[in-house]
Structure 1
């Protein structure tokens, strides 16, 4: 069996091979088309000869070495502060939101919006970062002069610096759209711009966290599809994280971080968090993340619950009523199916519960007797107008003691008060 070709050991060797291949193609263009000596060849690798290797997790289930991750959300949820919190955990060997220890490593931060001196470094200090292990990507000096860093041209130079630093474990790009010199809405240009960074991360064993925004007016859609720009951002990322903000004054964490997509591990679930202003000395203050409890549910459900209270509650309940009328139009439906379909449709379960009360939906147990199958709760529309409980004031449809993330909310299915239809 022929030996496999030796893989390049450095980016310089990659460039040298590319130059040799280019010269061969230019020479081949001047020869006869049927000259076998200059026919292109393709290297094939037998699957049996390629060893299986585990995912190299930086934060198990959430951040993987050599992979691109996105952190998306609406303005004001604290995405950059979240990025600095994760960077601080890596630089100091601190703890992840899950409570597990982060491996100590160096961090590269490329920011196109916030100033390091008055914004990012204060946040890193507030989060307990080891500033000796955090490095900001600055301008590039070449024969043309001094210019901004361009991933399409400067990855090789960045790679050399990363090797000099050593043990780079996390690269933060904020915002990641700045890495695209061309049109960020074109798939090919996005992939072409981000691929060099992904290859660099894979070579040095670092996770890339790209911070970005949600598209305007995208509430209710699949979270991955809400990422601004080309769909290539969400497609190329192996893990997509989303952040949302709840209404002020609600019980429980006012913000949440959820895992919307993962091609390399489980998805769903998240963590509540809050932002606090803390003193960092010398008369300065900075925001920091205060992590809260673990959250259960899909990212779509968690986002729907958080964003509902930010908008018009009456509109959310009206939409949920329309959803219930449609799904229950042909007869009783199991409660679990109603909940699943609501999640798939982007309708918050809290809104469905309130719409159920307004429509006077009947719940009853079915099965479980004399071999009639498993016992389950069914939902069905009432035929009796007298049983309709339509509230004139939509505020009355809200439970005053129910919060997006509180113990009695829809994310806790085990609560006794809802056992009748769970």
Structure 2
């Protein structure tokens, strides 16, 4: 009998030569693979920091935030190799599969895809399942995810699968963790096997404003636990301003967001649709970002004897500062997030962004005379017949990374 020694210093005995795999009993065992034999690979991003290939994502928000329209805007970027909301270029065009239990393909989904500028040849919309005899039945994500393997192969691979709503992939009780985990495992496996991002749309549970955004996703917390990234959307109650933020990420940063509005659009033959118009990047945690637009933050501060705008002006009087540093100084003096934002609006503070991903630095500075730093257009506009391409601009061309429209 031979004694072997592995790189960790452990010893084990080789089985006797008489024992072979052929005559071993069919008993399952744990397949423990030594880390040295596993090749490390980087996260394969679709939208760096936001959407990753081979991973499950949740997009959640209250009703009226335009989650489907928002996601269709991202689908347009994928199918045309366009620009992401933060200005980065999508590296290559990809295919997308959409399943929606709530929106009609002909009068809602396709018009929105056209309005967003998507390549319709790269988008497949699930409208049921069929057999060799031609029988047709509704597509059920809780049972039929396995049928999509052939679809993905026939399309030459897919970059994103949209499930609206994601709770439809759960056969049991969406409030029970075990049912959710069993139901979503097939979705997770599909994402890994086809190296596509899966984005499941969900809603916020009622009465959760002010709490951790990831914990506001309706149903069991297993939804947020299984998703590698949870994106959240919110709408300001007194304007069209909306925000998208990262509430949780196990594979990247969970800070920062981007502002957007949903605008009406008229496409060919006078068909009305909607599309997303992206604004600027936003600093802060998802809780801070959502708190700003949902208006659930305490307006008071420890000492009201000083005007927040005057305090911010003094902080920036000697020159530009990193936004996080300026915000930290303001909060150290007792000002709330909402007061800081309003002070920035009053002073028309300008921002400049450098670096990418985790190395991004946003600098605040006092504006130049006569500068125009409005983030949102004066109001929603309808576009003629065929919608013109959206002018995304660049981060350097934009002013505030958040400005409330009153």
Deviations 1:196-220 (A, max 9, x none): 1111111111101111111101001
Cα 1:358/1:413, change in 2 over 3 Å: farther
Alignment partner of 1:52 is 2:40: yes
Secondary structure of the residue aligned to 1:220 is: coil
Give the alignment partner of residue 307 of structure 1, picking from 253, 276, 294: 294
Deviations 1:153-186 (A, max 9, x none): 3222211111011130011111111111221111
Max Rg structure = 1
Q: Which residue of 2 aligns with 1:157?
A: 147
Q: Which residue of 2 aligns with 1:297?
A: 284
Alignment partner of 1:76 is 2:64: yes
Deviations 1:96-115 (A, max 9, x none): 10112222010000101011
Cα 1:44/1:407, change in 2 over 3 Å: same
Cα distance in 1 for residues equivalent to 2:33 and 2:215: 35
RMSD: 3.5
**Structure 1 residues not aligned, in runs of 5+:** 2-34, 326-355, 366-375, 381-396, 418-422
Cα distance in 2 for residues equivalent to 1:295 and 1:182: 38
Give the alignment partner of residue 220 of structure 1, picking from 187, 210, 226: 210
Cα distance in 2 for residues equivalent to 1:405 and 1:63: 35
Q: Which residue of 2 aligns with 1:115?
A: 104
Q: Which residue of 1 aligns with 2:128?
A: 139
Q: Is the 8 A contact 1:150 1:181 kept in 2?
A: no
Q: Is the 8 A contact 2:141 2:168 kept in 1?
A: no
Secondary structure of the residue aligned to 2:234 is: strand
Alignment partner of 1:94 is 2:94: no
Cα distance in 2 for residues equivalent to 1:206 and 1:131: 18
Deviations 1:214-270 (A, max 9, x none): 110100100100000110110001011111111435xxx711111111100111111
Give the alignment partner of residue 279 of structure 1, picking from 266, 269, 277: 266
Give the alignment partner of residue 182 of structure 1, picking from 164, 172, 186: 172
Cα distance in 2 for residues equivalent to 1:270 and 1:63: 13
Shift of 1:141: 3.0
Q: Which residue of 1 aligns with 2:354?
A: none
Q: Is the 8 A contact 2:142 2:168 kept in 1?
A: no
Alignment partner of 1:42 is 2:30: yes
Secondary structure of the residue aligned to 1:40 is: coil
Aligned length: 314
Q: Is the 8 A contact 2:55 2:192 kept in 1?
A: yes
Secondary structure of the residue aligned to 2:259 is: strand
Cα 1:403/1:243, change in 2 over 3 Å: farther
Q: Which residue of 1 aligns with 2:229?
A: 239
Cα distance in 2 for residues equivalent to 1:40 and 1:159: 27
Q: Which residue of 2 aligns with 1:129?
A: 118
Q: Is the 8 A contact 1:305 1:404 kept in 2?
A: no
Q: Is the 8 A contact 2:349 2:364 kept in 1?
A: no
Cα 1:413/1:104, change in 2 over 3 Å: closer
Shift of 1:280: 0.9
Q: Is the 8 A contact 1:306 1:404 kept in 2?
A: no
Cα 1:358/1:295, change in 2 over 3 Å: same
Task: With the length of structure 1 as denominator, give the TM-score of the two structures.
Answer: 0.67
Cα 1:99/1:179, change in 2 over 3 Å: same
Larger RCO (alpha carbons 8 Å, 6+ apart): 2
**Structure 2 residues not aligned, in runs of 5+:** 5-22, 315-328, 351-361, 368-406
Cα distance in 1 for residues equivalent to 2:123 and 2:216: 31
Cα distance in 2 for residues equivalent to 1:118 and 1:403: 42
Q: Is the 8 A contact 1:151 1:193 kept in 2?
A: no
Q: Which residue of 2 aligns with 1:255?
A: 242
Cα distance in 2 for residues equivalent to 1:140 and 1:78: 28
Task: With the length of structure 2 as denominator, give the TM-score of the two structures.
Answer: 0.69
Q: Is the 8 A contact 1:141 1:147 kept in 2?
A: yes
Cα 1:360/1:133, change in 2 over 3 Å: closer
Q: Name segments (4+ residues, structure 1) moved above 6 Å.
A: 358-361, 397-401, 403-406
Q: Which residue of 1 aligns with 2:54?
A: 66
Q: Which residue of 1 aligns with 2:400?
A: none
